[in-house]
């Protein structure tokens, strides 16, 4: 049997790829198998092309891995932003709850303050009736007095009554709230002098009129010292 490429030479085997007989010159052992050198040349070229393709695929895979890592980083940043947004919303809700609690407390304090004012007015009326004193308004002698101005000490009727910061004043005092504490003390002395002319009236009216006026003056002094 002769070699397919070299008819003058005897064949010593067959190529497992092209199945042609090969001589000693054509025979090549590659990867433990018998090939002809022409098939080996073709296979090497194919292997080289495959290597190039494998390198290209590896680059594509690396690029895809890089993009996946960037996408994962962006997703992590987005998740962090969502967490921060949720925290801000939670803080805002907490602030709204705290504001609502403060408003409720303020409203409750205001209601308690109004009740305290009403209670003070009721107590003044009870004190008037308790002492069986029929007092008349300083400005309207025809009308019965319902309270005493804590600034000037004069008894006033409903028309003259003015509530300022929960305290009872007469309207002239409200119009002249800029009067100094010294003037208030002068008023107190004047009222005491007037009541001293009628001791029985003074004793009956002191708890109703003078005592609140003295307390107001003392409160003003204490506030100034603080």
Tens place of pLDDT per residue across the chain (226 aa): 888 888 888 888 888 888 888 898 888 887 788 888 888 888 887 777 677 678 888 888 999 999 999 999 999 999 999 999 999 999 999 999 999 999 999 888 888 888 877 777 777 666 655 555 568 899 888 888 888 888 888 889 998 998 887 888 888 888 877 554 555 566 566 666 665 665 555 555 555 555 555 555 555 444 333 2
pLDDT at 81 (0 to 100): 92
Please say which residue of 71, 89, 106 terminates a domain: 106
Q: Are residues 96 and 174 located together in one domain of the fold?
A: no
Please say which residue of 38, 71, 106 terminates a domain: 106
pLDDT at 209 (0 to 100): 54
Residue partners of 124: CB distance under 8 A and separation at least 6:
146, 147, 148, 168, 208
Q: Are 22 and 36 in contact (CB under 8 A)?
A: yes
CA separation for the pair 147, 170 (Å, rounded): 9
Note whether residue 115 is domain-resident. Answer: no
Q: Are residues 73 and 152 located together in one domain of the fold?
A: no
Note whether residue 123 is domain-resident. Answer: no
pLDDT at 192 (0 to 100): 63
CA separation for the pair 45, 37 (Å, rounded): 12
Note whether residue 6 is domain-resident. Answer: no
pLDDT at 130 (0 to 100): 59
Q: Are residues 85 and 158 located together in one domain of the fold?
A: no
Q: Are residues 92 and 152 located together in one domain of the fold?
A: no
Q: Are residues 163 and 212 located together in one domain of the fold?
A: yes
Please say which residue of 67, 88, 106 terminates a domain: 106
Note whether residue 149 is domain-resident. Answer: yes
Note whether residue 177 is domain-resident. Answer: yes
| Domain hosting residue 179, numbered range | 132-225
Domain count, the chain: 2
31: left (phi over 0), alpha (psi -120 to 50) or beta: left
CA angle 219, 224, 226 (to 5 degrees): 95
């Amino acid at each position: 049997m002769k070699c397919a490429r070299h008819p003058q030479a005897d064949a010593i085997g067959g190529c497992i790829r092209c199945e042609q007989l090969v001589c000693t010159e054509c025979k090549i052992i590659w990867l433990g198998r018998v090939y002809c050198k022409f098939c080996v040349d073709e296979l090497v070229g194919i292997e080289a092309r495959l290597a190039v393709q494998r390198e290209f695929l590896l680059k594509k895979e690396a690029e895809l891995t890089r993009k996946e890592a960037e996408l994962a980083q962006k997703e992590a940043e987005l998740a962090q932003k969502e967490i921060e947004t949720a925290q801000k919303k939670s803080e805002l809700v907490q602030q709204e709850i705290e504001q609502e609690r403060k408003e409720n407390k303020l409203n409750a304090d205001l209601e308690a303050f109004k009740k305290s004012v009403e209670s003070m007015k009721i107590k003044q009326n009870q004190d008037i009736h308790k002492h069986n004193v029929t007092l008349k308004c300083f400005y309207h002698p025809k009308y019965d007095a319902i309270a005493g101005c804590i600034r000037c000490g004069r008894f006033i009727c409903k028309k003259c009554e003015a509530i300022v910061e929960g305290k009872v004043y007469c309207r002239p005092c409200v119009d002249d709230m800029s009067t100094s504490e010294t003037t208030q003390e002068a008023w107190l002395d004047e009222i005491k002098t007037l009541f001293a002319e009628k001791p029985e009236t003074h004793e009956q009216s002191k708890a109703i009129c003078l005592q609140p006026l003295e307390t107001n003056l003392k409160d003003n002094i204490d506030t100034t010292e603080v």
